[in-house]
Amino acid sequence: MNDWFDAEQHAQRAHDFYNRGRWHQALEALTQALEACPDQSAWHYGMGLTLEQLNRFEQAIDSFEKAIQLGNEHPDLFLHLGVDLMRIGQPQRAIAALERLATHDPTCHDSYCHRIMAYLQCGDHEQALQMFYLAQQTHDACPACYSHIAQSLAAQGQLERATWCWQQTLRLNPTYPDVRGNLARVHWQRGRHERARRLFLRQLRVNPADVETLEQLAHLLIDMKQYAQATEKFRRVVEMDPARADAHVMLGELALRIGHHDAARRRFDRARHIDAQYPGAHLGLARLAYRHDEHDVAHDHLAVEMTLSGQNSEQVLEMARLFIGLKQPDGALRLLTPVGENDLVFESPSQRALAIIYRGVALLMLDELDEGITLCRRGYRCDADQAVALHNVILAQLQQGQLRRAAVTLRRLKRDHPSCPVLKPLQRTWRRRWLSQTYQQWTAHLPGRRRGF
């Protein structure tokens, strides 16, 4: 009897602590209560709610499941279980829990609303849309439903419909979390940079401590070529969270862009000390070393960078460019071999074109001239702004002694890029080769000297 009384006292204290927001004390009191009486499903439910507040979602799920095993089938229990399962990336189990909620209460709007997000996590956009329509039948003015289905539409590339849905979310609840940030990202994808910038700023007015949105705004400003403003935003990011390696890498990139090499080196060093596995820091140090003709140092940093993963398309291309500059074409080929087989590696047509060209140049360096020329031409067809492709084709044709083909390519380079800095040196090289070949052909037809003269 005394054990039961003590357990009840602990449970009551836990309830009081919970209502006052003192989560750790509530957890301690519930632990003591359940040690005495572990078969109380309501206390396991309370333990799950308390662990949720502490963001310990896996432990919360265990508590909710214990409550269910003990016969507690309160609808809210399945709702919390489903939401927490989504939080830890287990949407299939979340769907099962939310379906049980719908079994107990078919009119429960939350069951359908949260299943939109669960099916989105599974990549099943058709079922997500079906859940949205079912949710509309129970409550047609739910901002969360519009936000969830907007994410599904955006993931499918249906940006205009996604924009409309997030606008509905904003109309129904102007303070809904991250709705302006989501709209900003969609407008950014649609090339509406200024509108995206304004929406990011509005999102930051609602939540000035939103580091993720601040960082995304900084990346947008880089796309808009507003480098000074981007630098200021990244500095604010590291002031708010000094342990963000990604922000330090970006500050290093921006410093490198304007020639502040010492500042760039400090940022890259800081990033690799914060997170030795974060990609980009060693690449930045390799670029600095290469610019200072410290090729051995550049190679060492590149070798470390190659052991890491997670580089974006631009960083992969920069690594390939450095390998070519260091006269290590095999390294470039290791990075770029998937081109043509897995174009998803490179996000934009210009990046794919540059990747094809770099691969072609690497093959030319290995004396695989025909394949290298083919790839350089293919890359130029993808992006006619890449004069470097024609430059390398001309050099390879001259190496093969194909002066007529080189002349045709030279005319194309002159037509497409009349101010290209390598145009005149290439023309002089072609003229010397032509004169040399013409002289050899002319002297080969002269009669030999007669003996005795």
pLDDT tens column, 109-119:
999 999 999 99
Please write the tens of the pLDDT for every residue from 351-403: 889 999 999 999 999 999 999 999 999 999 999 999 999 999 999 999 998 99
Reported confidence tier of residue 450, pLDDT bands at 50, 70, 90: very low
Q: Where are the beta strands (DSSP E) in 300-353?
A: none
Is residue 231 within 8 Å of residue 249, measured between CB atoms?
A: no
Is residue 131 within 8 Å of residue 119, measured between CB atoms?
A: yes
* Helical ranges in 173-226 per DSSP H: 179-189, 193-206, 211-223
Cα–Cα distance between 200 and 183 in angstroms, integer?
A: 9
385, two tokens: 């702004």
Least confident of 5-19, 55-69, 167-181, 353-367: 5-19
* For helices 369-382 and 349-365, angle between their N-to-C axes, nearest 10 degrees: 160
Residue 73 pLDDT more than 90? no
Average pLDDT of the residues in 47-75? 93
Average pLDDT of the residues in 93-100? 95
Please write the tens of the pLDDT for every residue from 290-317: 999 999 999 999 999 999 988 988 999 9
Is residue 283 within 8 Å of residue 254, measured between CB atoms?
A: no
95 Cα distance to chain centroid: 28
Q: Exposed (0-12), middle (13-18) or buried (19+): which is 307, by Cβ within 10 Å?
A: exposed
Please write the tens of the pLDDT for every residue from 161-180: 999 999 999 999 999 999 99
Compute the chain's Rg from CA coordinates: 32
Residue 449 pLDDT more than 60? no
- Residue 441's pLDDT is 74
Mean pLDDT across the chain: 91
42, two tokens: 């309501």
Is residue 39 within 8 Å of residue 59, measured between CB atoms?
A: no
Residue 439 pLDDT more than 90? no
Say what the pTM is: 0.79
Reported confidence tier of residue 181, pLDDT bands at 50, 70, 90: very high
